[in-house]
Chain A
């Protein structure tokens, strides 16, 4: 599977490493080259400096042939816009984005965008732990 990841933070870098280890072809984008320090030395994919909202940068990352796109930058709006570009402009079969704001996450999932809200998930996990 070919995967393009936008945002090389802790989550992005870790996901890139996991997919790469499993033998997938991974391209990861970040606007800041310093973020790539989070990638492990064994990472065999491509790391590219660029803004995932820029269609040229996405093309360079191979979005046209990608099977999946994941947006995990710090900005909810950036993530959801990038996922919609991947889905509607480049017809990527699977586009997932992180949205911290649960209300926005709910809205976008009803609009057909695949979303994950760490806020909701983490709150539930914590609640579960407290109830153990």
Chain B
């Protein structure tokens, strides 16, 4: 695949390196001359100096034959515009943008960016997972189906401890998939399964009903 990466910072550099290792043809567009020189010295002549939002530079690097464009500069507005130009002017089939302000994910999606990766959200989520009392963790989101897989921990004081799955009225569209229990094999919950303290429940849900699912499972 031919992949254009816009932004040669740490993220762009390591991304390009990984993509090269996988055997892809990669080109980085970077504004800063020194950063450009360093990349060329380390990875070979795969970096061109310029503004990745400009049609002329995107033309120069042959964006119209690119299979993918990934915008990973530190500025949301630059990443958005690069992706929009790539999509609408060069018909790049897949555009991926890094988003720093999580609020911007919705607008990026609405404006035709195929995939958004919110670095802020990922870091927050990873930190939250390490906080033992954190009630709900996002494990995976299946964006095109509008589904997500979450983990919910049942605290010892939860009013749902001792109840069966049947007794809980789970929100529509939510399914319990797995219960991970201390010193037991993970089990697939049935309607008669009784919840225990410290259970870790893996569930499939939708972004709209995750709050309700969390409240139902913990009896909040």
In the complex, residue of chain B having the shortest beta-carbon distance to the beta carbon of A79: B77
Q: Answer yes or no: B139 CB below 8 A from chain A CBs.
A: no
- A103 with B77: CB separation less than 8 A: no
Q: Which residues of A contact B54 (CB under 8 A)?
A: 101, 103-104
Q: Which residues of A contact B78 (CB under 8 A)?
A: 77
Please classify the interface of chain B as helix (H, G, I), strand (E, B), loop, or mixed, using the class held by over half of its residues: helix
Q: Answer yes or no: A78 CB below 8 A from chain B CBs.
A: yes
Q: Answer yes or no: B88 CB below 8 A from chain A CBs.
A: yes
What distance in Å separates the Cβ of A131 from its nearest Cβ neighbour in chain B? 28
* B contacts with A, residue count (CB < 8 A): 21
- A: contact size bracket: 20 to 34
With A and B bound together, what is the CA distance between A41 and B77 in angstroms? 33
What distance in Å separates the Cβ of A71 from its nearest Cβ neighbour in chain B? 11
How would residues 111 to 138 of chain B score, 1 for a CB under 8 Å from any chain A CB and 0 otherwise? 1000000000000000000000000000
Q: Answer yes or no: A80 CB below 8 A from chain B CBs.
A: yes
- Which stretch, A25-33, A60-68, A84-92, A118-126, touches the partner chain B? A84-92
With A and B bound together, what is the CA distance between A110 and B89 in angstroms? 10
- A103 with B80: CB separation less than 8 A: no
Q: Which residues of B contact A54 (CB under 8 A)?
A: 101, 103
What distance in Å separates the Cβ of B69 from its nearest Cβ neighbour in chain A? 15
> Can you give 21 A-B contacts (C-beta < 8 A)?
A53-B76, A54-B101, A54-B103, A55-B103, A75-B77, A77-B75, A77-B77, A81-B81, A81-B107, A84-B107, A84-B111, A89-B106, A89-B107, A101-B54, A104-B53, A104-B54, A104-B85, A107-B84, A107-B89, A108-B84, A111-B84
Whether A77 touches B53, Cβ cut-off 8 Å, given contacts A107-B85, A111-B84, is yes
Q: Which residues of A contact B56 (CB under 8 A)?
A: 103
